[in-house]
Amino acid sequence: MADLVFQVPAKTTFGLDAVNRVGMITSQYAERAVLVTETVLNEGKAIGRVQDLLTKKGIDCITFDELLTGAEDRVAAEILSLARASQAQAVIGMGGMNVLTVARCAAVALSEGVEIADLYEADRAPADRGKPGVGRGKAHPAAYIEIPTAVRNHFMFRDFCILTESTRKSARIARTGTEVFKAALIDPRLSLTLSHKSAAAALLDVLLAAVEGYLSTKANFLSDTFLLESVRVMTEAVRAVVKDSADVRARTRAYQAGLLCALGLSTAAQGPAAALTYAINAQHGIPKAWIAAVLLPHILEFHIGARPERIGKLAIALGEDVDGISAADDAAKAPRAVRRMMGQLKLSSRLRDFDLNLDDMVDVTETAADFEMVRYSPVPLSAQDLYDLVKLAF
């Protein structure tokens, strides 16, 4: 067994009204900051609240709240230009995964004195791959502070994220390192701005990430503990959300599952279904969480032959009664449990519901097959295998 290396890079605060600490934490690193967020948060007055908290600590704040359809590098570049022009010393990302991705990439590029494109792994010299960008310009040390508002960020404790290259509409790995990431404030109350559909899809997105991490060849005793508990807690959260989607206690449980999942993924890895969500989102603009919900039962069925005992344990975490006599029979209950959840949450169950064309999926699967996370699948998968998986989900 290889050595397990585990490190949480940022101070993480979890709880209702945790966002109230944003001024105090940011003041440790900056007098000027850029707040990257999304306009939907104005409905709950969250943006104004954060701005006021920063102002009370004497922090000059510029707000960037463009409507994002994806985590595109052109948007990260705009944020980087704004941060440089305002001489910001911190970038605060407050929103869903798209917002957090572009904000973090901008903060890293600002701190390292590089452009956003320099973060792409394939564009680096071999000796520099796996590191943040190697400076070409003047470094401007900066802090990144994260405030998730959509239950989860699968890359929270990783040294990379998935960014969309705007010119080619292609999903690519951007290496961010962990040095710039200083703090995460996880406040379940902020998710109340999400619509029922968006919140429901986010829950299934966490389940997909936890399931693939648990099934991956990188899984270990620590990730198993976090990821199985994430599935169990999220199952409770789904039941509560079905009864009352605005129940803050249900949202708190969902956030707990999201945090457990991020901790598990810090030493495990997402898999082929996740790679497909990033690739489809980049090329066609369909929200990642919607795609994740559709693919989840199919990826469970896809791996039953290779991981029946593990999927049986997932079935238990999903609330299923198993008899322990046949691993395959126990495992078959897991995708059925997920499909019941999807019905209860009123989520689409087919990719064709998103006006996608199966012919367009060839390019998507070729892109997804190049992601490193696909190599950690318990079953070796080619682009053709991924295409077969997509066909099942159509």
Whole-number pLDDT of residue 125: 41
Position 192 scores a pLDDT of 87
Q: What would be the CATH architecture of the domain defined by 195-393?
A: Up-down Bundle (1.20)
For each of the chain's 394 residues, which pLDDT tens digit applies?
Answer: 567 777 788 899 999 999 999 999 999 999 999 999 998 877 768 999 999 999 999 999 999 998 667 789 999 999 999 999 999 999 999 999 999 999 999 999 999 999 999 999 754 443 343 454 444 556 678 999 999 999 899 999 999 999 999 999 999 999 999 999 999 999 999 988 888 888 899 999 999 999 999 999 999 999 999 999 999 999 999 999 998 888 899 999 999 999 999 999 999 999 999 999 999 999 999 999 999 999 999 999 999 999 999 999 999 999 999 887 788 889 999 999 999 999 999 999 999 999 999 999 999 999 999 999 999 999 989 999 999 999 999 9
What is the per-residue pLDDT for 323? 81
Domain ranges of the chain: 11-190, 195-393
Question: What is the distance, to the nearest Å, from the Cα of residue 10 to the centroid of all Cα atoms in its chain?
Answer: 16
Q: Scan for tokens 């295409």, then name that residue.
A: 387
- Specify the pLDDT at position 124: 46
User: pTM higher than 0.85, yes or no?
Assistant: yes
DSSP for 205-220, please give it. Answer: HHHHHHHHHHHSTT--
Reading the block at residue 145, the tokens are 């502070």
**Helix locations, the chain, DSSP H:** 22-26, 46-56, 73-85, 97-112, 196-215, 221-243, 248-265, 272-284, 288-302, 308-317, 327-345, 361-369, 383-393
Q: What is the pLDDT of residue 354?
A: 93
- The domain 11-190 is classified under which CATH number: 3.40.30.10, 3.30.450.20, 3.40.50.720, 3.40.50.1970? 3.40.50.1970
In the structure encoding, which two tokens stand for residue 328, read together?
A: 């395959």
Q: 76 and 68 in contact (C-beta within 8 Å)?
A: no
Write down the pLDDT at residue 40. 80
pLDDT at 67: 66
